[in-house]
Amino acid sequence: MPSFDVVSEVDLMEVENAFNQARKEIAQRFDFKGTHTELERDKELNLVIRAGSEGRAEAALQVLMEKLAKRGVALEALDPQKLEPASGGHVRQLVKLKRGLKVEDARKIVAKVKESGIKVQAAIQGEAVRVTGKKRDDLQAAIHAIRAAGFSIPLQFQNFRE
């Protein structure tokens, strides 16, 4: 029976490449000179922006988002937290990466597939949703229905099997 999996993953190598490109651009750009703006990673692979002012932190976030978009990383995978004051009059912003499908999101996907009326079955399996059906056309219609729903997370469709 044909099936596919709906997952939410981020290519960590592309994130790493975009992160390094953004760090180099921030180090070289004239408008960032002397502002003590820098990008870092923490232990959970989240990104941290440190800057001398809120404006520079927002500009650094824009540079990071540009680089991620150019590398093909979905910007829905980013979860920028609010700016926090740091020592020395600086500001700090944590940018979390959304990885994996949460149970609530998986339930929304299953509900969307069921309400679409397509003759397929959707089941939550860990951090993925397995969609099965008798016809390949039904599975493709389910993919279109899920994409059209406009979820706020990046979704990929993997393991399409006949």
Q: Residue 79 in 3-state DSSP?
A: strand
Confidence tier at 10 by pLDDT (50, 70, 90): confident
Q: In CATH, what number does 12-97 get?
A: 3.30.70.990
CA dist., res. 91 & res. 140, Å (int):
46
pLDDT one-digit tens code per residue, 61-105: 999 999 999 999 888 888 899 999 888 888 999 999 888 888 888
3-8+101-161 and 12-97 share one fold: yes
* pLDDT for 161 beyond 90: no
What is the pLDDT, as a whole number, of residue 76? 87
CA dist., res. 82 & res. 110, Å (int):
32
Model pTM score: 0.79
CATH topology of domain 3-8+101-161: Alpha-Beta Plaits (3.30.70)
Report the largest interatomic distance among the alpha carbons of the chain, rounded to a whole angstrom.
63
Write down the domain spans for the chain.
Answer: 3-8+101-161, 12-97
pLDDT one-digit tens code per residue, 99-140: 888 888 899 899 988 888 889 988 898 888 999 989 888 888
